[in-house]
Amino acid sequence: MAGLNVEIAPVAEPVPLELIKNHLRITTSADDALISGIYMPAARELVEDATALSLVNKGYRQNLDSFPHEPGFFGIGLTSYELAERAGSGRRHKHHQRIKLFRSPLVSVTNITYIGTDQDEHVLLPAPALWAANTEYTLGDERQDSNGNLQQITAINEAEAEEDGTASSGATTPAWNLTPGQTTTDGPALTWTNLRPAYAGDFQVNADDRPPSVFPTYGTVWPDVLHQENAVQIHFVAGFGSDGTAAPARAKLVLMMLVGTWYENRESVTEADLRKIPHHLEDLLGSVRILDFNP
């Protein structure tokens, strides 16, 4: 079995209250608490469940009963080394060991915890992602530079920052400072601090695909776990920024229309001759829905 829980709630909704009220032509504040406290989060949750998107940044915990291994056998009695030998080529190994995450787009994977066969909890850490040009980053982000060092954003030029606090890296690779504790300027917006040589990590992250996925580093396999429910827990952050500004407009339009429908029709049964607009909201959600969750 697999499940998904929200560990860190969003700090804002993807559509501001004032925009919702403008859409509905509401000029009074009498129903602000109802709209912002019930209708807006309910509409967001519905859209997110229907599309597998996270419209705003949230922390998630994805639970699994075990890690995936090679199809066709269970590896009973085999050591981790023997399992790695069975994994075959890198491509085949990556495909069969991949775990797809239930929300997109992925911001980061914090860690993976699991209950080992020794009945103790263990923690797996991700290999640091590589620095990329023309990419939005936020304060505290960590990336591996071209010299194999771990760099962290310790300052952002406010004049270059977006409304959600993010800022873009430069178009070319900066001249990274090789000394731990020293800084590097990246374009007009970012300042990185050299933390230390980057760690290898226990697993890799593919944040570009939808759905995103995690898989063991090359030449390794997932560890054995205790035979119990939710023995594996993946902790990650997904979303289109802290305020959802970058979320798909189609998804936000559906959210606004749902709020409008609930605001105008507050009972489940009514005498009014209401009719559903054929496939209207379904088409909008279908255009951004993520479907590929097969192993």
pLDDT, tens digit, for every residue of 164-215? 788 999 999 999 999 999 999 999 999 999 999 998 899 999 988 889 999 9
- Judged by average pLDDT, the poorest of 70-79, 159-168, 194-203, 221-230 is 70-79
Q: What percent of the chain shows pLDDT beyond 70?
A: 82
Residue 295, pLDDT above cutoff 90: no
In sequence order, what are the residues at sequence separation of 6 or more whose Cβ sits closer than 8 angstroms to the Cβ of residue 258?
Answer: 39, 42, 43, 46, 47, 281
Please, are residues 164 and 175 in contact by the beta-carbon 8 Å criterion?
Answer: no
Query: Across residues 82-106, what is the average pLDDT?
Result: 69
Residue 31, pLDDT above cutoff 60: yes
Tally Cβ neighbours within 10 Å of residue 279: 9
Residue 83, pLDDT above cutoff 90: no
**Per-residue model confidence (pLDDT) at position 36:** 95
Length of the chain: 295
- Judged by average pLDDT, the poorest of 61-65, 88-92, 115-119, 228-232 is 88-92
**Per-residue model confidence (pLDDT) at position 100:** 95
Which long-range contacts link 196-200 to residues 24+ away (Cβ below 8 Å)? 196/149, 196/150, 197/148, 197/149, 197/150, 198/128, 198/144, 198/148, 198/149, 198/150, 199/125, 199/127, 199/128, 199/150, 200/127
Query: Across residues 145-162, what is the average pLDDT?
Result: 94
What's the pLDDT band for 5 if we cut at 50, 70, 90?
very high
Residue 72, pLDDT above cutoff 60: no
Rounded mean pLDDT of the chain? 86
Please, are residues 53 and 248 in contact by the beta-carbon 8 Å criterion?
Answer: yes
Token duo for residue 232: 């594996």
What's the pLDDT band for 70 if we cut at 50, 70, 90?
low
Residue 1, pLDDT above cutoff 80: no
Which among 83, 64, 23 has a CA at the least distance from the CA of 254?
23
**Per-residue model confidence (pLDDT) at position 96:** 79
Please, are residues 164 and 158 in contact by the beta-carbon 8 Å criterion?
Answer: no
Residue 76, pLDDT above cutoff 50: no
Distances (CA, A) of 93 to 75, 79, 112, 232: 14, 16, 19, 20
What's the pLDDT band for 42 if we cut at 50, 70, 90?
very high
